[in-house]
Amino acid sequence: MRKSWLVLIAAAFLITACDSTADKSGSGNANAGAGTTAAQPNFSFGNTGATGVNQLAQDVADRVFFATDSSELSPEARAVLDKQAEWLKSRPNLNITVEGHCDERGTREYNLALGERRATATKDYLVSLGVPAAKINTISYGKERPAVDGHDEAAWAQNRRAVTVVQ
């Protein structure tokens, strides 16, 4: 009986230690499934223009938004991607993944296809601006990773997006 209690206490200690270590390091995953890079560590290398995972979002913007049922890039989205392309071209050693996302409406299959079209439209535009296609992967999460919980137009508008994630 005493041995069982010791094992239970040791397990609780390990779980607590692991949890508090992640929080202190800043790499806790509070936004798991949110489709953002906010939970990933930010690495900065002096004043060399930082090539960290989070740096794109800090320097430019890491996402563009779409109209309902559309994969067409708006003028605002193109302006963001113009800046992303310049940022990426100045860091030729980086690879990226463009994630396509949708709001909660529609079937899973429809949203996966729409998310793929959004990611592909984003990739194609970046490539047209001189970012090497071989440096860009795409993935669709459909409606599975909302950035904002909610069942109204304000939430849906933020979930209809393509997010550029530095690898």
In a domain, 150, yes or no: yes
Q: Averaged over 18-33, what is the pLDDT?
A: 38
Q: By C-alpha distance, which of 33, 96, 104, 28 is closest to 62?
A: 96
Give me 32's structure tokens.
């798991």
* Nearest Cα to Cα of residue 160 among 84, 75, 97, 74: 74
Domain presence at residue 43? no
In a domain, 8, yes or no: no
Helix (H, G, I), strand (E, B) or coil at 158: helix
Residue owning tokens 């071989």: 134
Q: Are strands 136-142 and 63-65 parallel, antiparallel or unpaired?
A: unpaired
pTM above 0.85?
no
List pLDDT tens digits, range 104-136. Answer: 999 999 999 999 999 999 999 999 999 999 999
| 38-90 confidence digits (pLDDT tens) | 333 333 333 334 455 678 999 999 999 999 999 999 999 999 999 999 999 99
pLDDT band at 9 (very low <50, low <70, confident <90, very high): low
pLDDT at residue 157 is higher than 50: yes
37 falls within a domain = no
Number of domains in the chain: 1
Q: Specify whether the CB–CB gap between 85 and 72 falls below 8 A.
A: no
* pLDDT confidence of residue 3: 55
The H-or-E segment that residue 110 falls in is helix 108-128
| Residue 106 in domain | yes
Torsion, Cα of 83, 85, 91, 94 (10° steps): 120
Give a yes or no: residue 112 inside a domain. yes
pLDDT average, residue stretch 149-153? 95
Is residue 140 assigned to a domain?
A: yes
Predicted confidence band of residue 23 (pLDDT cuts 50, 70, 90): very low
The answer as to whether 25 is a domain residue is: no
**Sheet harboring 136-142: ordered strands across?**
63-65, 161-166, 96-101, 136-142
Residue 73: which domain range? 54-167
- The CATH number of the domain where 89 resides is what? 3.30.1330.60
Mean model confidence pLDDT for the chain: 79
